[in-house]
Amino acid sequence: MRHWPIFAMVALLIFSAVLLIPTLDRLPLWVDEGWTVWATDAPNLAEVTERVNEDVHPPLYFYALYGWRQVTGDTVFEMRYFTVLTTLLAVAMVYRLGRTLLNIQTGLIAALLYSLQDLMQVLSQEIRQYPMQQLLAALTLWAYWRFWQRPNRKNGVIFAVAGSALLWTQYWGGFVLLAMAIHALLTCGLRRKLLLFVLANGAIGLSYLLWLPVLYRQMTQEISGGLGHALSNSWDSYKVLAFQLLGRPELFWLILLAVAIIPILLRERSSKKFLAHPIAMPVLVTLLTVGLTVAINDEYAILSFRALSVILPVLAVIFAYALMQFRGYERGVVALFIVAQGLTTTSADHPLHLPWPEITEFVAEHTTADEIALIESNFDAYAQFYYFDQHGTAYLPTELQRHEQEADFQAWLGEKLADAGGVWVVQHNAPYRDIRPELAQLGYLQTAVLVWNPNPNWSVELWRFDRSPQDEPRAVFDENLQLARATTSVFDDGVTINLLWSPITKPERNYTISVFLLNEGGQRACEIGCGHDSYPFENRTPTLDWNPGGYYFDGHVLHPQHLPPGRYQVGVKVYYFTDTNFTQLEIAPASDCSANPTCEYIIIDTVEIN
């Protein structure tokens, strides 16, 4: 059974993959993922660098994701799968780190604990750099320890390359490298050995010189006050850090930390002997990384459990070492408790994922070729970019544009909307200004409002605007309902029909609007999906709520089934029910009788369906 560790690790990697992959695309992109997708959707690496320069991160992860997308594609699953692969490598690297520091059993337990860590599982299902920083942290620690044990050129080069990659992936890698530098300074008594560490760390520093001006600009201009999402230095924040980084119950994991550290301190009386112990270096990395982050946070806000997740691999090794201090059956009982706890409970949860796929699909299906979506969102705009691009819907990032060039915004908006007959405004968390007065200045009327409320604390509003009609109505139904405008558009699997109504007098009944496709013989084009009947705007704005002279948007979407390619006419008719059981209906005659002698419906367009 010489190869049993390999079989155990293969089983653990399969176990980790089963935990992560099946639900990989269950959640839509959230704010940070949307920005990551946008940053790596550039035409070349130079543009990726330019976009990352404007944010708060170094670029290595974004280069890697950019390359991955060139090979695989850009579905949410494919991009998150890159993170999963990184995580699986991190699981393997944690095993290697624990094995190199201590022994095979410690490495296997550490890899198991790491794969069950709740925050790690959350981060591993996002298009973000955190699993990559954890992988490189484990790799750098492993390379450092090999270099510390055998200080030669080969090991020094491996350490320098790993450390550089870590620093180019996440700034908190600098705290990890500082902890190792202090460890080397305190334990490398021989000058030649210490000199090798100085040279290796010098090489890491030299590799970073090109990025230092960008880091300075990011800190002084992009985030001059620190990270917007940083926690404060408070007891409540420290409790958040505890359950995010350690897990729940927090007391259990704190006891394991004590089991790992206190016996060594009691046994190794001198600090030098303690630092020479294999577990001392992970402890030093943990304490220094967290301690410096908390200390700096008083002056510059950086306290983030996501950034501090860089210590998750070393925590896994420390906890594994603690478990190894128990006797065999005790260790088994504790391990079973940890596995059961890890599989049945969670101490970390996903951030808010707004339903952008559903919202953007709705807007896309209710937008014709001459219409456009305006994104009145700040950071959430980037997730919407991705989904609108998937649908091929034209959009403008109005909130971001206003933030960048407020003085010229009105002129810019007028130029962009010069040919747009209708617009959808997606309004969410837009703090700068209300766009409705600006649209009114351009001749738009608000014709519909739809509130999407995925969470009691959040809402997304869809505002529909149409240009004020200048022409005569297409037709008048029942001598009251004026069809002021009608536009159609064909998309991949359906037809969009957008109507704009205006009543002459207040309607006395609820009218049903029917839209349908007719073949060359004037018959319904297909049995399923070739017609849609509802109160206006899919039952959202019944005509009893209309006021004289107002304008009301009415969108219909057809999804024809088994429809042969060809040209089809789009018809519109209006009717109402005369009984409460909705069995007797009365046609509202149209003023235009050219489509049929009984004036039951009108033809508004002819569409080509391929």
Whether 175 and 297 have beta carbons less than 8 Å apart is answered as no
HSE-CB for 193 with a 13 A CA cutoff: 16
pLDDT over 80 at 350, yes or no: yes
CA 23 to chain centre: 14
For 41-53, give one letter per residue: b (16+ CB within 10 A) or e.
bbeeeeebbebbb
The domain ranges of the chain are 4-344, 356-467, 475-609
Task: Output helix, strand, coil percentages for the chain, rounded to the nearest 5.
Answer: 50, 20, 30
- Give pTM, 2 decimals: 0.92
Q: What is the pLDDT of residues 206-256, one digit of tens each?
A: 999 999 999 999 888 877 788 888 999 999 999 999 999 998 899 999 999
pLDDT band at 61 (very low <50, low <70, confident <90, very high): very high
pLDDT value for 285: 96
For domain 356-467, give its CATH number from 3.40.190, 1.10.3470, 3.40.50, 1.10.287: 3.40.190
Burial class (CB in 10 A: 0-12, 13-18, 19+), 540: middle
pLDDT value for 458: 81
Any idea which residue has 């700034």 for tokens?
A: 171
pLDDT band at 195 (very low <50, low <70, confident <90, very high): confident
Q: What is the pLDDT of residues 122-173, one digit of tens each?
A: 999 999 999 999 999 999 999 999 999 998 999 999 999 999 999 999 999 9
Whether 556 and 538 have beta carbons less than 8 Å apart is answered as yes
378 vs 475, residue with greater confidence: 475
Respond yes or no on whether the N-terminal peptide bond of residue 249 is cis (omega within 30° of 0).
yes
Ranked by mean pLDDT, the top range of 190-199, 270-279, 344-353, 515-524 is 515-524
275 contacts: CB under 8 Å, gap ≥ 6:
183, 186, 187, 281, 284
- Give the number of residues written for the chain: 610
Q: What is the pLDDT of residues 456-488, one digit of tens each?
A: 778 899 999 999 998 899 999 999 999 999 999
Burial class (CB in 10 A: 0-12, 13-18, 19+), 410: middle
Ranked by mean pLDDT, the top range of 3-17, 302-316, 457-471 is 302-316
pLDDT over 70 at 190, yes or no: no
pLDDT value for 431: 66
pLDDT value for 133: 98
Any idea which residue has 């505890």 for tokens?
A: 242
pLDDT value for 1: 63
Edge-to-edge strand ranges of the sheet holding 475-477: 475-477, 481-491, 494-503, 552-558
Calpha distance 233→113 (Å, rounded): 28
Looking at residues 279-298, what average pLDDT do you find? 95
pLDDT band at 583 (very low <50, low <70, confident <90, very high): confident
pLDDT over 90 at 42, yes or no: yes
**DSSP label at 188?**
-
pLDDT over 70 at 454, yes or no: no
Ranked by mean pLDDT, the top range of 196-205, 329-338, 538-547 is 538-547
| Residue 197 DSSP SS3 | helix
Whether 603 and 570 have beta carbons less than 8 Å apart is answered as yes
| Per-residue 3-state assignment (H helix, E strand, C coil) for 436-460 | HHHHHHCCEEEEEEEEEEEECCEEE
Q: What is the pLDDT of residues 537-564, one digit of tens each?
A: 999 999 999 999 999 999 999 999 989 9
pLDDT over 90 at 574, yes or no: yes
pLDDT value for 581: 84
Which fold does the domain 475-609 belong to in CATH? Coagulation Factor XIII; Chain A, domain 1 (2.70.50)
Whether 557 and 365 have beta carbons less than 8 Å apart is answered as yes
DSSP code string of 7-37: HHHHHHHHHHHHHHSTTTTSSPP-HHHHHHH
pLDDT over 90 at 418, yes or no: yes
Looking at residues 192-203, what average pLDDT do you find? 87
| Residue 424 DSSP SS3 | strand
Whether 573 and 542 have beta carbons less than 8 Å apart is answered as no
pLDDT band at 397 (very low <50, low <70, confident <90, very high): very high
pLDDT value for 83: 98
Calpha distance 376→427 (Å, rounded): 5
Burial class (CB in 10 A: 0-12, 13-18, 19+), 386: buried
Structure-derived torsion over alpha carbons of residues 91, 94, 99, 101, reported in degrees to the nearest 10: 180
Are β-strands 422-428 and 458-467 bridged in parallel, bridged antiparallel, or unpaired?
antiparallel
- Considering only CA atoms, which of 361, 382, 383, 364 is closest in space to residue 373? 364
